[in-house]
Amino acid sequence: MTDTDRTNANHQLVRDFCAAWEKRDSDFIIGCFTDDAVYHSMPLSPIVGKAAIAAWVRGFEGTPPRRLEVHHQVASGDVVMNERTDRIVLNFQPVTLAITGVFEIHEGKIRAWREYFDLGPAKVAFGKPVDTAGTVLADGPGRHP
């Protein structure tokens, strides 16, 4: 496989991976990972290993499908990055998240997946107050956790 072929295959893998989230195709999503994969949503703790990622993915099976609108995606060798808007439901509340995703691919599988986004909109869905900058407040304005 040429470098261009590998880059194109990795680009398509991430496109298919994002589309599988929209369909809630857990088996496909889980099959995209290496055994030693790491998913790290940067505001939260990383999820390490395919088994742990599988349990996390399956936890979404009872929730409404989410919409992942990929605005831009670039691939270079074994790294794929995308800029997207995820429209999801958390705690029965619609939530919109602007996300940048970084994927490291190894032999056609995702070895590392990092997502960068503001957790504020998700916290609002769970009734946690935020200030105008999106910072979660502990006990009212001016008090931070």
Which overall architecture, per CATH, does domain 3-119 show?
A: Roll (3.10)
Q: How far is CA 84 from CA 5, 38, 68, 74, 122, in A?
A: 24, 20, 7, 12, 16
pLDDT band of residue 119 (cuts 50, 70, 90) is confident
Domain layout of the chain by residue ranges: 3-119
Instruction: Examine the pLDDT at 8 and tell me if it is beyond 70.
Output: yes
Sign of CA dihedral 124, 92, 28, 53: positive
Q: To the nearest 10°, the Cα dihedral for 88, 90, 92, 97?
A: -40
pLDDT value at residue 93: 84
Query: What predicted TM-score, i.e. pTM, was given to this entire model?
Result: 0.84
Confidence band, pLDDT 50/70/90 cuts, at residue 107: very high
Look at residue 63 in the predicted model and tell me its pLDDT: 79
pLDDT tens, position by position, 42-69: 988 999 999 999 999 999 888 777 889 9
Task: Report residue 144's pLDDT band, with 50, 70 and 90 as the boundaries.
Answer: very low
Distance CA(59)–CA(56), nearest Å, equals: 5
Helix (H, G, I), strand (E, B) or coil at 100: strand
